[in-house]
Structure 1
Amino acid sequence: MRRAVCPGSYDPVTNGHLDIIERASKLFDEVVVAVGINKNKKGLFSVEERLEMLRECTAHLPNTRVDSWHGLLVDYCRQNDIAAIAKGLRSVSDFDYELQMAQMNRELSGVETLLMSNNPVYGFLSSSLVKEVATYGGDVHHLVPEVVFERLKEKLAERS
């Protein structure tokens, strides 16, 4: 079975993330969408909320499952018999960073990394930018799935 992981913080998941996940699901028998747990980082959404949103957003993809991990991604890959990491690239700066990570991951474990160019429609899109624009009342409904948009509005209303 060809298995890949699409790792990220997904705080929150965007249409750009989903584009990469959907495309990876066509290339692999199983895609694990994995939320990284970083105790030192305070996200807008809890890990549990992110997992729940991702499950809703990927429910139409029968060969995906959602999970979380803590520590080195390559250790998670070894423990789950995952041979590849699938990541999206928006820019040259993404490439520089992801290339170093891919080389380190291959050196540590032999896990390969598939770097996929993003859909140009999402070239500017990031979770951080979505949160910032939404915080100041900007309309982000076309940048995230509907379920995420609704939860984002609720979360920001709670905070104010």
Structure 2
Amino acid sequence: MKKILGAILIGSVVLAVAASIIVRTFEDRLTKELVAQVSRLAIPAGWNQQADTVRREQFLCVSTNPCPSISWRWEAEAGEVVTAEDLVQIAPAADVTLTVDRLCEQPANNGGRAIMCIGRGVEDGYEYQLTLSRAAPGEPLQVSLYVSPVSTP
């Protein structure tokens, strides 16, 4: 009887480990596919990457912390002007179509951090958001990218 229980216990452990490996392999594949897709965005060579965060796919993801998701940020070259059309042109290389909400201009009455414009698009079940902002007039432009699964109501 002890041998049967031992064999069942060992079999259960082996099954759990195998299932864990299979799930992790699937999760890693999903994350790598998303990173590969997003990496095809045509980011201008002169933009200096400031942040590079990838939240990998996990067995349990919640709406407040979706996965996989990507949050990248760049600083444009000093004095560079980025237009809504420039943001739109970044996306086609990754098969994404962005729609920009307005002209990318510093609001006239804003002396502090300002979001100048936001480009949004959806591709393969992921929402893309490319935000152009500036800490203050005369400061370099900040470009932030956030990609996450399409949220369902």
TM-score between both structures, scaled by the size of structure 1: 0.24
Which structure exhibits the higher relative contact order, with contacts defined as CA atoms closer than 8 Å and separated by 6 or more residues?
1
Bigger radius of gyration: 2
Indicate the structure with greater helix content: 1
TM-score between both structures, scaled by the size of structure 2: 0.25
